[in-house]
Structure formats: structure tokens, C-alpha cells
């Protein structure tokens, strides 16, 4: 059960509600986010919800039988919109394109990508400065120095930044320089990181784990929300299977299923999802048609020279066509 409390509820009223939640056999968890104040009741007992609903200070109450609660569509029917400022809004009715290199490599590279994004009216640039790599000897990113450069060039050009955070200790140093924190597939169930991002208040794009179920992804998002941050989007980026003709299996089934289960925006990453640049476009178009709220993909001025993930990175010409076609597909979808 979820109870939304009225804004500025007096402590005595809240205490009465907490006592009543316990009396009907539920464990009460208090959650305060940037938007509202809730009590999440955990339990299975049957009781008349009206006894709680009529208490002073209750703004709204619902039963939510899912394991995850606050991110469930059973609690909130209206889709969540994430406002990054300057007219950049992610979620229902908008199709968000986030593009850029796998890794931030140099000032010149950022300038070229920014120029490409601006020419195509793309408002969000991706690029990792802390890179999770399978080999410890591979390029692991430019770190904070790269982030500062990334931020300087993007903010001067009205472009928002999404970049991966790998550990709790990085959040404080990164928070003023990012618009969206990315949680990578390998950290999808790093619960300490998720807790801390709940407190950090900046929007979070949470990727599905390499072998993660949708239930695990949703529960991971619940960690962030229940720690105080409602600005979450989910990302399907492909899962591991026995198939080795491509890097991962982009599970587009996840898009309509997640959209039905949660009010959070759903983004698709076709680059990591298939891992082969020639097929990024068809899978992106399929993602649009499946109902995605946006796509995040890798582009680079010279993919064959990229420091990481060049094999799945499209060049600017391919990127331009991709952007045009995704927008056409989105218009078509909206016209259905
Ligand atoms: C990335 O976005 O470059 C990345 C490392 O993604 P993932 O966590 O999905 O592998
Ligand atoms: Mn990558």
C-alpha cells in the first residue's frame, strides 16, 4: 500500500497514520522525495482501505500488490516526465535522442560531436568518462578532467550531459557537471550506488543488468525512488544469451511490458543491444515502434578510431540519417 501525505502534514497527524498502518498489520516505510512525502506499507493483510484513507493528512492511498511500489503504474497511472531544463523534457509524448561517443576522448572530439548534435537539433550528449571495461588494460576513461571539459563545452552550447557513474564516491564530484547520471549494466544492482543516487536528486538513467530480469530492474529503480529521487528512466540495453552472432540480444519485448508495469520513461540503447553498427538503425526504428520514449546510441567522427566500442558506433552521416528516420517513425507512431 502507498499513502501520499498532504504537503506539510503536521507531525501528530503523520504519527496517527503511521500507528494505523502498523495496527492493520503493515510495516511502515517513510519516503520523502523532491516531489512528495509517502508512507509505503509492506504487508499482505486484508483490511478496509477507507479507514486509513479518511484520516486527516492523507492525500491519496492505493493498494499496490507488486514487489516494487512507488514506481508501479498501479500507484501512478500518469507517466513521469523528467525535465532537464531549457525545454528538454523526457517521457511520454516526447521522443528523446541521446547520442555521443562511448568514451570522451579529447576536447576536439567533444567539439565535433557537439557540432553534429546541434546541426541535428539533438539536445542530449552521451559519453563516458569512467568506463567499465572487461579488461583492466583497456582505456578506462578520462575521469573528472574529461567530465569538466565535457561539461564546459556542452553547457556553452545548450547541450545536456548524460554520463556513467560507477561508484558512490564519484557522485559528489560529478553531481554539478552532469544532467543525467547513467548507471551501467554492470552496476544495475549495486544497491549502495542506487541508494546514494536516490539522495543525489539528479535524474538517473538506469540500465538493465547483463543478465537482469525486468523484475530486478524495476526493484533497482525502486531503490532510487525510495531514497528520495523520482527522476528515473529505465534503459533496455540487451541481455546475454547463447546467441553469439551479435554482442547482446536487444530485448524489445521489454519496452511495452515495462511501459505497462511502471510510469517511468523507457529508453533503448541499440548500440550495446546489438553491438554492430550496421544494425543500429533498424533496431532503433524497431525501438521507436515498440513504444520507447527515447534512444541512446553511440556516434563518433571516426568510429574505426574510437577508443572503445567502435564496432557498434555509427559515423555522423549514419547518425544524421538515423535521427531523421527515428523522428519520422515517431511521428508515424504518434499518428496511430
Ligand atoms: C556505455 O553506455 O558505454 C556502457 C558501458 O553501457 P552498458 O553499461 O550498457 O554496457
Ligand atoms: Mn559503449
Using the mean position of ligand 2's atoms as its centre, give its distance from the Cα of residue 310 in Å. Answer: 8
Ligand 2 midpoint to CA 298 (Å): 7
Treating both helix axes as pointing N-terminal to C-terminal, what angle do 191-200 and 214-226 enclose, rounded to 10 degrees?
A: 40
* Residue 202 clears pLDDT 90, i.e. is over it: yes
For residue range 274-297, list pLDDT tens digits in order.
999 999 999 999 999 999 999 999
CB 169 within 8 A of CB 193: no
Please tell me the predicted confidence (pLDDT) of residue 19: 96
- Does ligand 1 have an atom closer than 6 angstroms to the CB of 102? yes
Per the DSSP assignment, residues forming a β-bridge with 294 are 96, 267
Q: Which ligand is nearest to the CA of 164?
A: 1
Mean local confidence (pLDDT), 80-95: 97
Q: Give which of 324, 251, 321 is closest to 286, Cα–Cα.
A: 251
Averaged pLDDT score across all residues of the chain: 97
What's the average model confidence in pLDDT over 1-14?
97
pLDDT tier at 90, thresholds 50, 70, 90: very high
Pocket lining: 40 vs ligand 1, CB cutoff 6 Å: no
* Distance in Å, CA 324 to ligand 1 centroid: 24
Beta carbons within 10 angstroms of residue 206's beta carbon: 26
Q: Coil, helix or strand for 16?
A: helix
Cβ neighbours around 125 below 10 Å, total:
27
**pLDDT of res. 47:** 86
Report how far residue 262's alpha carbon sits from residue 240's, in angstroms, rounded to the nearest whole number. 23
CATH 3.40.50 fits 2-62, yes or no: no
Query: pLDDT per residue over 218-268, tens digit each?
Result: 999 999 999 999 999 999 999 999 999 999 999 999 999 999 999 999 999
Q: Which atom of ligand 1 is nearest to the CA of 296?
A: 2
Alpha-carbon gap, residue 81 to 306, rounded angstroms: 33
Q: Is 217 within 8 Å of 208 (Cβ atoms)?
A: yes
The grid cell for 223 is: 531503490
- Tens of pLDDT, residue by residue over 158-189, are 999 999 999 999 999 999 999 999 999 999 99
Q: What was the pLDDT predicted at 79?
A: 98
* Pairing relationship of beta strands 96-100 and 294-298 according to DSSP bridges: parallel
For residue 157, the model assigns a pLDDT of 98
Whose grid coordinates read 550496421?
Answer: 278
Q: Looking at residue 127, what is its pLDDT? A: 98
For residues 309 and 109, what is the distance between their CA atoms, to the nearest angstrom? 15
Res 248: pLDDT: 98
Residue whose cell numbers read 511502515: 28
- From the CA of 238, which ligand is nearest? 1
Ligand 1 nearest atom to the CA of residue 309, by list position: 3
What is the pLDDT confidence band of residue 58, given thresholds at 50, 70 and 90? very high
Query: How large is the average pLDDT for residues 47-74?
Result: 95
Q: Is the pTM of this model over 0.75?
A: yes
126 CA: nearest ligand 1 atom: 2
pLDDT of 198 higher than 90: yes
Q: Tell me, which fold does domain 81-334 have in CATH?
A: TIM Barrel (3.20.20)
Give me the percent of the chain exceeding a pLDDT of 90.
98
Sequence-ordered list of residues with C-beta below 8 angstroms from that of 78, at least 6 positions apart, any chain: 263
Q: Are strands 160-164 and 124-126 parallel, antiparallel or unpaired?
A: parallel
3-class secondary structure, 320: helix
- The Å distance, Cα 272 to ligand 2 centre, comes to 6
SS3 (DSSP) at 237 = coil
pLDDT of residue 1: 95
Domain definitions of the chain by residue range: 2-62, 81-334
Residue nearest to atom 3 of ligand 1 (CA): 102
Beta carbon of 207 within 6 Å of any ligand 1 atom = yes
Q: Is the pLDDT of residue 89 over 90?
A: yes
Q: Whose CA is nearest to atom 4 of ligand 1?
A: 184
Nearest-angstrom CA–CA distance, 224 and 198: 4
Amino acid at each position: 500500500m502507498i499513502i501520499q501525505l498532504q504537503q506539510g502534514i503536521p507531525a501528530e497527524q503523520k504519527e496517527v497514520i503511521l500507528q494505523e498502518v502498523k495496527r492493520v498489520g503493515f510495516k511502515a516505510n517513510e519516503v520523502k522525495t523532491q516531489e512528495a512525502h509517502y508512507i509505503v506499507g509492506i504487508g499482505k493483510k486484508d483490511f478496509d482501505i477507507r479507514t486509513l484513507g479518511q484520516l486527516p493528512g492523507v492525500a491519496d492511498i492505493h493498494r499496490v500488490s507488486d514487489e516494487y511500489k512507488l514506481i508501479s503504474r498501479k500507484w501512478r497511472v500518469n507517466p513521469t516526465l523528467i525535465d532537464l531544463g531549457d525545454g528538454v523534457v523526457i517521457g511520454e509524448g516526447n521522443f528523446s535522442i541521446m547520442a555521443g561517443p562511448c568514451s570522451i576522448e579529447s576536447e576536439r572530439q567533444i567539439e565535433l560531436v557537439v557540432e553534429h548534435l546541434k546541426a541535428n537539433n539533438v539536445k542530449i550528449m552521451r559519453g563516458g568518462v569512467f568506463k567499465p571495461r572487461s579488461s583492466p588494460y583497456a582505456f578506462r576513461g578520462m575521469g573528472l578532467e574529461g567530465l569538466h571539459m565535457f561539461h564546459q563545452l556542452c553547457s556553452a552550447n545548450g547541450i545536456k550531459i548524460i554520463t556513467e557513474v560507477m561508484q558512490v564516491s564519484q557522485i559528489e564530484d560529478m553531481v554539478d557537471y552532469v544532467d543525467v547520471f547513467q548507471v551501467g549494466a554492470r552496476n544495475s544492482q549495486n544497491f549502495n550506488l542506487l541508494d546514494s543516487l536516490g539522495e543525489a536528486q539528479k535524474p538517473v538513467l538506469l540500465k538493465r543488468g547483463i543478465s537482469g530480469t525486468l523484475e530486478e530492474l524495476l526493484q533497482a529503480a525502486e531503490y532510487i525512488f525510495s531514497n528520495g529521487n523520482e527522476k528515473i528512466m529505465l534503459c533496455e540495453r540487451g541481455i546475454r544469451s547463447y546467441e553469439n552472432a551479435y554482442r547482446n540480444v536487444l530485448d524489445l519485448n521489454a519496452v511495452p511490458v515495462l511501459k505497462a508495469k511502471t510510469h517511468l520513461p523507457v529508453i533503448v540503447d541499440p548500440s550495446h543491444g546489438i553491438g554492430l553498427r550496421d544494425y543500429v538503425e533498424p533496431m532503433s526504428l524497431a525501438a521507436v515502434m515498440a513504444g520507447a520514449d527515447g534512444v541512446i546510441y553511440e556516434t563518433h567522427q571516426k568510429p574505426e578510431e574510437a577508443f572503445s566500442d567502435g564496432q557498434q558506433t555509427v559515423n555522423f552521416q549514419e547518425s544524421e540519417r538515423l535521427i531523421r528516420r527515428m523522428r519520422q517513425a515517431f511521428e508515424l507512431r504518434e499518428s496511430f
